[in-house]
Amino acid sequence: MTGLFDPLQLGAIALPNRIVMAPMTRSRSDAQSVPTPIMVEYYRQRATAGLIVSEGIAPSRHGIGYCRTPGIYNAEQVAAWRQVTDAVHAAGGRIVAQLMHCGRIGARFNKAPDAETVAPSAVRAAGRIFTDVAGMQEQEVPRALATGEIAGVVEEYAAATRHSLEAGFDGVELHCTSGYLPMQFMAVNSNQRTDAYGGTAENRTRFVVETLEAMTGAAAGRVAMRICPGNPFNDVHDPDPTETYRALLSRIAHLGLAYLHVIRSPHRDLDAFALAREHFSGPLILNDGFDGASAARALADGKGAAVSFARHYIGNPDLARRLREGLPLAGFDSKTIYTPGEAGYIDYPFAAS
């Protein structure tokens, strides 16, 4: 029977246990999207996870959406991430980079002056977004990518994959949910294209397939993807997510992804884990709402190969030890999730010995 503390092989990445730290935006980079020294300590503290999935990292300056979020598209960023990965590896951990292009989600105050907001179609997302310099702002109206430009965006992901390996990451994960660029291509309200990237489920998933092909070409055995079928976050809508994700998963079977990271669907009648098991033959990392006991049951029942934890890792840098020894889990301060500085970031205590 598989347990949380059994080792696991995910493609070319060997894990000492099956407890994964899920990606979480924490907004501690500097204004140039360069990781800061406190980020080195934050990830080092959590290196006893079997695998850390980094916060979302922009593959290009155009991919930045939120304030104080990191990139991996220039030499300074790569060098700063190398300090993070070196610290994690020195502590015995493994870490992959989650590549996150926000697409139409963003405000110009959070971007470099020469950065654009691009998307499949020129459709503004509902809602507002926080900026450090101007407070809450309406989402930008994006510029629709021309068909001939899409290959260039795909290459940005491939270049970011190469930069991630240069920075010492053990692999890369494509962020394909939460209403960001890949999901904007797959959703019918944000993708109103009439070319080969719009319309049918096969066409709407084309961008994701081409991106994964480019990424695996740069890092075979070290590329993964995160999905959440039916997730409406950031104003995306798909009337038939089952059809969309069947089409997507059937078209990437040949790529040999290291794993598929699956978030529980918000739709009660859609079992995202079962859908993934049916259409993806590789290892699954399950996410959303698990505690130690339910995670152990999911693995014992064969529902996935590993389980990822997000919020439990905010206040419990030693979560793996606490789960192994049955120690109480600490809470966290929700007011400091996205604030700059050390408070609520690297000052949570480890359990007493």
pLDDT one-digit tens code per residue, 240-294: 999 999 999 999 999 999 999 999 999 999 999 999 999 999 999 999 999 999 9
Cα→Cα distances 186→94, 159, 272, 293, 346, Å: 31, 23, 16, 34, 37
Cβ 283 vs Cβ 20: under 8 Å: no
Q: Are 211 and 184 in contact (CB under 8 A)?
A: no
What pLDDT score does 292 carry? 96
Q: Tens of pLDDT along 132-183? A: 999 999 999 999 999 999 999 999 999 999 999 999 999 999 999 999 999 9
Q: How far apart are CA 231 and CA 77, in angstroms?
A: 30
Nearest C-alpha neighbor of 244 from the set 217, 209, 210: 209
Burial per residue of 291-307, b for 16 or more beta-carbon CB atoms within 10 angstroms, e otherwise: ebeebbebbeeebbbbb
Strand segments (E) across 213-328: 223-227, 260-263, 284-287, 306-309
Owner of token pair 């940005």: 156
Q: Give yes or no for residue 44 having a pLDDT over 90.
A: yes
Task: Please answer whether residues 24 and 313 qualify as being in contact, where contact means their C-beta atoms are separated by less than 8 angstroms.
Answer: yes
| CA–CA gap between residue 293 and residue 243 (Å, rounded) | 32
Point out the residues that are catalytic.
180
The answer on pLDDT for 1 being more than 80 is no
Q: Which residue ranges make up each domain of the chain?
A: 8-336
- Which residues are CB-contacts of 294 (< 8 A; sequence separation ≥ 6)? none
Give the percent of the chain with pLDDT over 90: 99
Q: Please give the average per-residue pLDDT across 35-40, as a whole number.
A: 98
- The CATH number fitting domain 8-336, selected from 3.20.20.70, 3.30.365.10, 3.90.1150.10, 3.40.50.720: 3.20.20.70
Mean of pLDDT over the chain = 98
